[in-house]
Amino acid sequence: MMKKILSFALVTLVLALFAGTVYFLWAKSRRPKTVYETESPKVATIIKKAVSTGSVVPRKEVAIKPRVSGIVEEVLVEAGQKVKEGDLIARIRLVPDMVNLNNAQSRVAKAEIGLAAAEKDFKRNQPLARDGTISAGAFLPFETAFSNARAELEAAKANLDLIEKGISRVSGSSSNTLVRSTITGTILEVPVKAGNSVIETNTFNEGTTIATVADMDDMVFLGRVDESEVGKLKQGMKLLLTIGAVEGKKPEATLEHIAPKGVEKDGAIQFEIRAALPPQKDVTIRANYSANADIVLDKRDEVLAINESLLRFEGGKRFVEVETAPQVFEKRPVETGLSDGIQVEVLSGLTAKDRLKKDAARPATSG
């Protein structure tokens, strides 16, 4: 009796395990039903644009450099200050070359000796010329020599003053030691201070910059565009600038220059563009603000459009999947127009009431 009970229990266990395995495999192989989301075409404005990254800079920016080498004695301006052309920016104290200084002092001494000798001859012969002892022609060389000696002494002293001080009594206020602004504008930076040594501008050296001056009322946007877009640009096009430091406003600039030659950057050929930015009311535009420019290449106002992700491609043709009944879709060819990379214009094949199948699907709720 006990043996029969154990055999029955064993058979029952085996059957239960078999049934459980079959059910597990059946449940695992069953695919959950999915429900596809849909989306309808909508009326939108599509703008195709090129984007250029660059900065806003003054059209005219000048580095003011000294014409003599020496020590900065005084700086008379600071960054942000407005100056006019000819305004004094700094004074330079000369550090004279000892050889040149010695030669200049020697020239003055020789000129003084020459003047003293010429003056003696002039004064000795002047009374003789008055009473007619010697003729006027005989007296003329003494008079000329005296005048030349005086002129040579003045020139020697002026040369010594220039070497020692950078200014002479003859030149007056004109001096190489006085650094003046060459344009009217705003001081952007003053990289030197009193006591700094500076080098003059010459053929072999660009010189030390005393100050940088720019006309902040005439700004331009300098940027670059990819070679794939440059062929679509032309002078006179409008650019909408997005300046990171200026929130809530998009100043409009006018494209005025496209570089004829591209340069390689990060493995791509890019072309420089320049656009004029008119003065902005109630907005302070500072030099070297970073900016992005949107260049409108083409535009479609209030047209039927769909998301580009809804398009399907097969055999070189474009189509979408249109819902004909709940979760039942059919392929329908469409003709498209302008695209901005996100939305595309629909020329034919759809209406605003159609429901289009999206890629995203969600599992059906079990009931």
Domains of the chain: 34-48+301-363 (2.40.420.20), 50-58+218-297 (2.40.30.170), 61-96+172-214 (2.40.50.100), 98-165 (1.10.287.470)
259-292 burial code (b ≥16 CB/10 A, e <16): eeebeeeeeeebbbbbbebeeeeeeebbbebebb
In this prediction, residue 3 carries a pLDDT of: 65
DSSP letter (8 states) at residue 50? E
- From the list 43, 44, 47, 45, the residue with the least C-alpha distance to 238 is 47
- Residues 288, 244 contacting (CB under 8 angstroms): no
In this prediction, residue 145 carries a pLDDT of: 87
In this prediction, residue 6 carries a pLDDT of: 66
**Which amino acid does the sequence have at 269?**
I
**Which runs of consecutive H residues, i.e. helices, occur in the chain?**
2-29, 98-130, 136-165, 227-230
- Residues 310, 320 contacting (CB under 8 angstroms): yes
Where do we find the tokens 């003293």?
Answer: 116
- Residues 212, 61 contacting (CB under 8 angstroms): yes
- Residues 271, 230 contacting (CB under 8 angstroms): yes
CA atoms within 13 A on the CB side of 309: 8
CA 343/CA 54 separation, integer angstroms: 27
Local confidence pLDDT in tens for the 367 residues of the chain: 666 666 766 767 767 777 777 666 666 665 556 778 888 889 888 888 888 999 999 999 999 999 888 889 899 999 999 999 999 999 888 776 667 767 877 888 888 888 888 888 888 888 888 887 788 788 888 888 888 988 888 888 877 776 666 665 555 555 678 899 999 999 999 999 998 999 888 888 889 999 999 999 999 999 999 998 888 898 998 888 998 888 878 888 999 999 999 999 888 899 999 999 998 887 888 899 999 998 888 888 889 998 888 888 888 788 888 888 888 888 889 988 888 888 889 888 888 888 888 875 555 544 3
In this prediction, residue 133 carries a pLDDT of: 79
92 alpha carbon, distance to own chain's centre? 32
Name the region of 302 (left: φ>0; alpha: ψ -120 to 50; beta: rest): left
